[in-house]
Chain A
């Protein structure tokens, strides 16, 4: 379901000369579901990824905040909790793996903003998206609980990046509030209510499109937008894109290449008149 995120991420990284290598034989981080059943084994899932990344001597970059939080949590607890470190150390040894705690876990958004920077991003802009008002939606786990990347409740890193690529990030008070996450599967009514609040806030603040940095948030806001309308009698038609898809458009890639055609809420009417080739 995240083919579009994958495609657009690869294209944007290539354009920015970010050397992205898929971690060989990576495993699922377990997210919230695995941790709800097994504590140590969940940490082991993260620890295996960390150990594999350490062997490659590279930063571990993710595009999903759940992976970010899960991996970061294990990384931190391994350093802070001797019992965990001992047990995980013994476990990894069974596969001839070890982890010395040196890996940095990062989200691609932060890598682009901090490592690549404004000049390099602006230098790649080939298409102007004139006067496009976007709502930068951060969700919960990009900045919570650790607050490493940005302020825990009122982040601005995505706003900045969006301004660099020439669009207008609107004021968006619910930018880091919960969309319901996995509750959309298990408690749909509750999650639809939370998603509705976000759509409402974006609309009220004049957003023409919502930008996300999380596949689950994207699913709730985009794929379930119709369900929100059905449940609440609303009429939202807000195109919702991954930040890499919008960046890709600014860099001159096509809708097809970026997987924008796979969307449920049509964005073509929105972008049709706005794209102006400049570079």
Chain B
């Protein structure tokens, strides 16, 4: 697990660049990412966000903290994992910042560098989702939910049984999964990617994306 910025010590990425600089350049690299420089801290995003009430640091503060290089605040808080991708912030931001897309980038960086709060369940779900899609080309709900429950809340899994039974009785439990014909081809395509959107400061680059 990569070290994060605490006080005076600056963690250094594999390429020798400060982690906060890598993150900053990577965010600039996403479509429209550079607009983050134009945040005027008006707070419209925080006010529009349906889950900001539950966040350690609401969207506005996350942008401020991120620009200030305070990675610990940004990544170890629950904030990015509480984003539901409702896009309210994105459509209202007076500076035209694609905040939801930035949240996605922060999620990707957090996972890649192992900087997620221990109790966050969303990264677990996302990774299981990706595994299933990589294997089958489509999602399979029952394996996804059951694996997720066993990993994050095995006792809670028992509580789900009544609901699962009710759904099963109504024929709403698809027990078979479908593997697309083009899945091997898809992996070939992924391997043929020539470049990614991440910055040149980022050691991971193409290799990271195609794994």
Contact = CB atoms under 8 A, between A and B. Distances in A.
- Looking at A1, A30, A41, A262, which has the most chain B CB atoms within 10 Å of its CB? A41
A132 interface: no
Interface in A25-54: 25-28, 30-41, 44-45, 48
B35 to A, nearest CB: 14
B189 A141 contact: no
A262 B172 contact: yes
A1 B172 contact: yes
A181 B121 CA distance: 14
A28 B163 contact: no
Interface in A84-101: 84, 86-87, 90-95, 97
B51 interface: yes
B162 to A, nearest CB: 10
B167 to A, nearest CB: 7
A273 interface: no
A44 B167 CA distance: 33
Contacts of B107: 36-37
Given A144-B88, A145-B87, A38 B31 contact: no
A59 interface: no
Given A1-B173, A28-B139, A80-B31, A144 B87 contact: yes
B38 interface: no
A71 B123 CA distance: 22
A1 B141 contact: yes
Contacts of B121: 185-187
A187 B88 contact: no
Contacts of B100: 145
B196 A3 contact: no
A121 B113 CA distance: 53
18 contacts: A27-B180, A28-B137, A34-B129, A34-B130, A36-B108, A40-B196, A41-B190, A41-B210, A44-B193, A69-B87, A90-B194, A94-B188, A141-B86, A141-B87, A145-B87, A177-B86, A178-B84, A223-B163
A56 interface: no
A37 B126 contact: yes
B77 interface: no
B172 A181 contact: no
Interface of B: 30-31, 50-51, 54, 81-82, 84-88, 90-91, 98, 100, 104-105, 107-108, 111, 120-127, 129-130, 133, 137-139, 141, 145, 148, 163, 166-167, 170-174, 180-183, 185-186, 188-198, 209-210
A200 interface: no
A264 B170 CA distance: 8
A12 interface: no
Contact of A91 (B30, B133, B189): B189
A3 B172 contact: yes
Contact of A185 (B148, B167, B173, B188): B148
B192 A91 contact: yes
Contact of A186 (B81, B166, B182): B81
A36 B111 contact: yes
B130 A38 contact: yes
A178 B31 contact: no
Nearest to A51: B189
A263 interface: yes
Interface in A261-279: 261-264
B196 A87 contact: yes
Contacts of A92: 189
A27 B182 contact: yes
Given A25-B181, A28-B138, A180-B84, A185 B125 contact: yes
B164 to A, nearest CB: 11
Contacts of A87: 193-196
Interface string A171-187: 00000011011110111
